[in-house]
Amino acid sequence: MEYPKHYDVIVIGGGHAGTEAALAAARMGSQTLLLTHNIETLGQMSCNPAIGGIGKSHLVKEIDALDGAMAKATDKAGIQFRVLNSRKGPAVRATRAQADRVLYKAAIRDLLENQEGLDIFQQAADDLVVENETVTGVVTNMGLRFMAKTVVLTTGTFLGGVIHVGLENHSGGRAGDPPSIKLAERLRALPFRVGRLKTGTPPRIDARSVDFSVMELQPGEDITPVMSYMGKVEDHPTQTPCYITKTTASTHEIIRGGFDRSPMFTGVIEGTGPRYCPSIEDKINRFADKNSHQIFVEPEGLTTHELYPNGISTSLPFDVQLELVRSIPGFENAHITRPGYAIEYDYFNPQDLNHSLETKFITNLFFAGQINGTTGYEEAGAQGLLAGINAALRVQGKETWCPRRDEAYIGVLVDDLITLGTSEPYRMFTSRAEYRLILREDNADLRLTAQGRELGVVGDERWHFFNEKKAAIAVEHTRLKNTCVRPNSEHATVANKYLQRPLTREYTLEELLRRPEISAKEIAEITGKYDVRPDVAEQVEVQIKYAGYVTRQQDEIDRLRKNEATALPEDFDYENISGLSNEIKQKLLSNRPATIAHASRIPGVTPAAVSLLLVYLKKKDLQAKAAAKLSA
């Protein structure tokens, strides 16, 4: 039957991409359906129980700046919070939280169920309805047809999923869940370029069988941070520590002994894993001279004894898994609750997408998350949010949107995928962002919230909160600029305690804060009474400290702005541009870059080639004008 209600947006998949997509579309006023094969696993963290980390927390904060779910849920589920790179400068500082799986899922479920305009339906999607190369609906496995203006596909590792433990393997979407075989077959019949990737998880361990006394304790931060800009420490559940242990020489020997039964080394797994080492056997194989590896022992939650030993992801046979786990200090008597495994799955070459994440071949069909070759909850959530926004914009008949590389890590992520494609599971690192000093954790709201409000994805509460903060920043900035410290004054005596040379002339507080020896804390001490909100004080400090570098990056961005704005027509005739080498022609033809700037980022496209493109664009433009004149 055909379901009587017709939707604006259907989202297939209830993982991190799917939930953000569905919530975003609904926030923007679209009638949205979230189609999942199992309502109980909505918002499931299928891999490690942590959110954030370097590069990743930046994405979470951006999702939050656009009023998404991930940071809010993390604040309600986080059982240990840490700030990484805390001594290295604010641009690369990153918040990371261990999350209780049950609490996280509950927080996401709560947001979904209370979102106006969002329906949830439990049924596996088997087929897409495609008419005239435009998607118009979805068919479930019991033959139910849901019609919609747009469809967002977020099927993660479920497409053609194969789970490997040793040389044994079976179909599966995630341990305990069925894969989407029918849908995979259906999609393979469409003109998308398909590849195989692999990822893996470690065996889980029962905490009651572990001796923590021989491990290093890793507590959370003394001053607990929050993930959401609107988050409060009071929202956090009880905090609990993690532990660190290490592999031993005998662990390595046991693992080497299992190489002949490893699906990775025996060629059973065809999919490409990442260049960084996700599995312990990979680490020991590639870095044979390293005789120990760290393992972070992370609790899975407050209401379970299960532990996630981060660092020993493996697809070795179970007997080897058990033996290797028990060779690790503290795990001598460990009981494994679930075996580790590797999973191979289909992904679609993201070069077949536009920056809106709409597919190039099927109109109104969007792809987000692991299906595009990425790994990680944060990468998935960011894409889901973007796809949801763009599906809703499409329904409204508006231009699609994607932040630029200098505006957001979301922009870096999508641009990298679309420009370069990926041959390994793509993970965010801060080194991927050329404007790292601008794209900070602390200013994602300043970068994106106003844009989000304009798009309609940011709600009233956040908008008011944001405006208050922005105003407070301006006030504080003015105060620092206009408050002077005179030499020999009372304030100068305090300042001189920290300065290498005492003040000899009048300084504004802003000038003082620019010095490496002075931070916001010292400014507070110098001026005495200080009632500025901590997030505001931090923001102003960072802006002042980085001002020189930020200006330089901004100049670079401004120089390239024109190239970003110069569109290359989709049917641009690269074949007939004389002077372009065949290699460059091929790259441009297969990539079909959207703008001049996009073209210039394709590896191998030279500055001279970009100049030629500009000249030919202009020529086309002149020809069109001449033709218009003739016909007039």
Would you tell me which residues interact with other proteins (CB under 8 A)?
54-55, 84-85, 88-89, 91-92, 274-278, 283, 286-287, 290, 293-296, 310-311, 313, 416, 420, 429-434, 436-437, 516, 549, 553, 558-559, 562, 577-579, 603, 606-608, 611-612, 614-616, 618-619, 622-623, 626
Minimum distance, C-beta of residue 285 to other proteins, in the bound complex (Å): 10
Cα 431 from Cα 269, distance rounded (Å)? 30
Residue type (1 letter), 567:
A
Report whether 173 contacts 161 (CB < 8 A): yes
Residue closer to other proteins by CB (options 190, 244) is: 244
Residue closer to other proteins by CB (options 207, 610) is: 610
Residue closer to other proteins by CB (options 153, 418) is: 418
Minimum distance, C-beta of residue 553 to other proteins, in the bound complex (Å): 8
Identify the residue whose tokens are 């994405």.
Answer: 59
Minimum distance, C-beta of residue 355 to other proteins, in the bound complex (Å): 18
Minimum distance, C-beta of residue 479 to other proteins, in the bound complex (Å): 24
Supply 89's token pair.
């400068």
Q: Which of 148, 114, 154 is nearest to 131 (CA)?
A: 148
Distance, C-alpha 244 to centroid of its chain? 26
SS3 of 294-316? EEEEEECCCCCCEEEEECCCCCC
Where does residue 145 rank: exposed (0-12), middle (13-18), buried (19+ CB within 10 A)? middle
DSSP strand E in 519-630: where?
none
Coil, strand or helix: which one is 348?
strand
Minimum distance, C-beta of residue 462 to other proteins, in the bound complex (Å): 28
DSSP strand E in 141-287: where?
145-153, 162-165, 168-171, 194-201, 204-206, 216-218, 242-246
Q: Which of 399, 351, 360 is nearest to 570 (CA)?
A: 360
Residue closer to other proteins by CB (options 20, 416) is: 416
Residue closer to other proteins by CB (options 426, 507) is: 426
Furthest-apart CA atoms within the chain: distance in Å: 88
Supply 591's token pair.
């990539």
Q: In sequence order, which residues have a C-beta less than 8 Å from that of residue 301 and are 6 or more positions away?
A: 49, 79, 100, 101, 102, 103
Minimum distance, C-beta of residue 278 to other proteins, in the bound complex (Å): 5
Minimum distance, C-beta of residue 277 to other proteins, in the bound complex (Å): 4
Residue closer to other proteins by CB (options 144, 557) is: 557
Residue closer to other proteins by CB (options 69, 312) is: 312
Minimum distance, C-beta of residue 296 to other proteins, in the bound complex (Å): 6
Supply 302's token pair.
């407050």
Cα 350 from Cα 364, distance rounded (Å)? 16
Cα 174 from Cα 46, distance rounded (Å)? 7
Minimum distance, C-beta of residue 147 to other proteins, in the bound complex (Å): 41
Residue closer to other proteins by CB (options 180, 247) is: 247
Residue closer to other proteins by CB (options 468, 558) is: 558
Minimum distance, C-beta of residue 431 to other proteins, in the bound complex (Å): 5
Minimum distance, C-beta of residue 259 to other proteins, in the bound complex (Å): 17
Q: In sequence order, which residues have a C-beta less than 8 Å from that of residue 200 and are 6 or more positions away?
A: 273, 278, 279, 313, 314, 315, 340, 341, 342, 343
Minimum distance, C-beta of residue 60 to other proteins, in the bound complex (Å): 16
Positive or negative, the Cα torsion across 499, 501, 507, 511?
A: negative
Q: Which of 343, 306, 336, 427 is nearest to 49 (CA)?
A: 306
Residue closer to other proteins by CB (options 7, 574) is: 574
Residue closer to other proteins by CB (options 310, 370) is: 310
Cα 358 from Cα 387, distance rounded (Å)? 7
How far the first Cα of the chain sits from its last, in Å, is 54
Minimum distance, C-beta of residue 613 to other proteins, in the bound complex (Å): 10
Residue closer to other proteins by CB (options 137, 340) is: 340
Residue closer to other proteins by CB (options 91, 148) is: 91
Cα 296 from Cα 217, distance rounded (Å)? 10
Minimum distance, C-beta of residue 87 to other proteins, in the bound complex (Å): 8
Residue type (1 letter), 506:
E
CA angle at 581 for the pair 580 and 582, rounded to the nearest 5°: 115
Supply 84's token pair.
């990484």
Q: Which DSSP category does 215 fall into?
A: S
Cα 353 from Cα 350, distance rounded (Å)? 5
Report whether 164 contacts 171 (CB < 8 A): no
Minimum distance, C-beta of residue 180 to other proteins, in the bound complex (Å): 28
Residue closer to other proteins by CB (options 257, 604) is: 604
Report whether 433 contacts 409 (CB < 8 A): yes
Residue closer to other proteins by CB (options 131, 222) is: 222
Supply 296's token pair.
């972070």
Positive or negative, the Cα torsion across 260, 206, 57, 565?
A: positive
